[in-house]
Structure 1
């Protein structure tokens, strides 16, 4: 029987969770079911897969409501919106905090919250008793899904709850390869690449310092934008490597940049999963990554990992990888493929009945 799945997300602007929602929606449709994406802020920067239906729920008008009342009022409006525009769903997947804050009060059937990051790391330094109580009110209200085993383990430890299962973020090999062939980046000479938002979690400062220390001929291409981009540019200037580092900006389709790179490097302090690693492997590229509390070490071999915040170790590994790329290449485990994730998410429907 055809199932109806709603994926709720704040915007369709970004990379990780946003690309996850679009990829899973495509996979659900391809499996003969019906996927709908409901987004809260009217920004779409990412390509929408053919056949995936999108619906704009205008959350902005609820911003004037005091926060202690907002979730209850907005959740009722969200439920009414879904029932009118889509019908009764078999499964609702809530993605990221602004949406989770609302959908924790939803009365729609079978609402699950997808946890995209290690919560203890995401709220590090501000996880006092009040904040923890607020998060518990949200995330213990519905069953949850962790996008990696590390995310799930962190959730269980932080909240003392077993009401969470692990479903790895999937990749769609065909779509990635097709998108990677859409254009060729205008970059002269070989380069290594990083794709990610310029924010504290991603530690572009570590990557830039490691790149400067590695002293390799390949350029460094940084794909993305964010609040710390100017700070990263200042660091590049201070290290006198402006002629070797390219700030490419946000790309709706970053895959050609990955395809034509020699190497992908991930420098994050923490990741929920890092789907960019899988996408790079799908395009036949080796990946060097920090050994985050979750994500990279569930995908990559130990030889491809370096300790957190150790730019000297990262510099050494980058130098080795550009000289001997094949030594760092690895195949993708089938458990990360799209059809596997689709089946596991659809199983949440039968488990709820």
Structure 2
């Protein structure tokens, strides 16, 4: 019998967020493979914070209390990883990624990083961001592999952070369409009374809900707008809606743990972000057959809606799987809103969304993860694992 081998995963915490959710999804999707390979799996959380996501029971979860400190994180995580002695460690988010690389050199395991954001856009200005970008530039090239969540993220890492192209893999986020459909069927009692469109995400400047409000006011669309999310821009956005004369049509519903029933009942989905790593909300809307309007920000929307990267657009353009608009372009988003107000166009793009969603399945994700980790653990026996569906 093969001796059990340890493997590790590391992330800042399991607070609410896309990266945290994908980490738990990854562990769930890979459970059968890890068991077949007789791998003992550890998840290290750097910070002791309330958890919005739950990792599978088979995982050995270790919660540290680094309080956001890189120095304390290095000390505590190194101690744990030294004891675990993993074959590899896969990390999510910048702080965990930098620690992963630093500790791997000391302990002797393979560091595999997952970059969840467009790094240049994420660290956009100020001294702290400049230092963070420099640290990424120094650490990421030393990893065994780097997994980019989109082609745009991959291109940014090559161009601006010295990561070698042959050290990079692109793996899109996984989506369980059947589960999303089940969650979408759950009853909710606070839907808008009138037909509505929907946008979701944190109410922060980078998500640029301000642009969506401007475009809605300028368009001929008569639908209400439902916005799911919370953040420091809430007061300003409410004031803007009032100033534009659309306050009675815009519903700020806050954060919803299960956003899918709201997506299901919306006519279509709109994202007006200035920057993304890979926009989960767009694909989740597509899983429910919702037509999509998105700004062509770095990175993800162009790849999802057109199948191409890079892609330049001006104003508003029709793409094979959705409507793609120039970033920060009110007239372009307004034109897209008007375009999807047409019943034939809405039906066409709804069908295309459902078709495109199939490209982001759990099965495809699982096979790509296996391709990344197998070279990092060459002594594993040949897998007889056959993925489901």
Q: What's the TM-score, normalizing by structure 2?
A: 0.80
Equivalent position of 2:177 in the other structure? 173
**Aligned counterpart, 2:187:** 183
* Alpha-carbon distance in structure 2 between the residues aligned to 1:55 and 1:247: 37
Contact 1:222 1:245 in 2 (8 A): yes
**Structure 1 CA distance, aligned partners of 2:26 and 2:49?**
20
1:95 is aligned to: 92
Residues 79, 286 of structure 1: CA spacing in aligned structure 2 closer, same or farther, 3 A cutoff? same
2:64 aligned partner: 57
Structure 2: gaps spanning 5 or more residues: 307-318, 379-389
Q: Cα–Cα, structure 1 residues 322 and 13, in superposed 2: closer, same or farther, change >3 Å? A: farther
Report the alpha carbon displacement of residue 154 of structure 1 after superposing the two structures with TM.
1.0
Shift of 1:129: 6.8
Partner of 1:46: 53
Offset at residue 44 of structure 1 (A):
1.4
Residue 26 of structure 1 contacts residue 51 of structure 1 at CA under 8 Å; is this kept in 2? no
Deviates more, 1:116-125 or 1:198-207: 116-125
Instruction: Give the superposition deviation at 1:276.
Output: 1.1
Partner of 2:300 in structure 1? 295
String of CA shifts for 1:247-275, please: whole Å, max 9, x gaps. 11111221111111111101011211111
Q: Is the 8 A contact 1:266 1:289 kept in 2?
A: yes
Larger Rg: 2
| TM-superposition CA deviations, 1:55-108 (whole Å, max 9, x none) | 422222x74xxx6xx1xx522421433565xx4444422111232243232235
Q: How far does residue 37 in structure 1 lie from its aligned partner after superposition?
A: 3.8
Q: Deviations over 1:4-60 (max 9, x none)?
A: 654322232333212211221211125454655433242212355675664422222
Runs of 4+ off more than 6 Å = none
SS in 2 for 1:268: coil
Residue 10 of structure 2 corresponds to 8
Once the two structures are overlaid, the 10-residue window that deviates more, 328-337 or 338-347, is: 328-337
Contact 1:115–1:147 (CA under 8 A) maintained in structure 2: yes
Could you tell me whether the CA contact under 8 Å between 2:141 and 2:162 is conserved in 1? no
Q: CA RMSD in A?
A: 2.5
The question of whether the paired residues in 2 share the 8 Å contact of 1:185 and 1:257 is answered with no
Map of 1:309 onto structure 2: 328
2:44 match: secondary structure: strand
Q: Which moved more, 1:210-219 or 1:130-139?
A: 130-139
Q: Is the 8 A contact 1:5 1:92 kept in 2?
A: yes
Tell me the SS of whatever aligns to 1:59.
coil
- The number of equivalent residue pairs is 343
Aligned partner of 1:138 in structure 2 is: 139
TM (normalized to structure 1)?
0.87
| 1:328-352 deviation per Cα after TM superposition (whole angstroms, max 9, x unaligned) | 2211254421121122112222212
SS of residue in 1 equivalent to 2:163: coil
Greater CA drift, 340-349 or 270-279: 340-349
State how far apart, in whole Å, the 1-side matches of 2:15 and 2:269 are.
Answer: 22
1:151 to 153, 157, 161: 153
| Further displaced range: 264-273 or 319-328 | 319-328
Deviation sequence 1:286-337 (CA, Å, 0-9, x none): 1110112320111113251011111111112112213321132211254421
1:125 alignment counterpart = 125
State the match for 1:275 in structure 2.
280
| Separation (CA, whole Å) in 2 of partners of 1:343 and 1:277 | 23
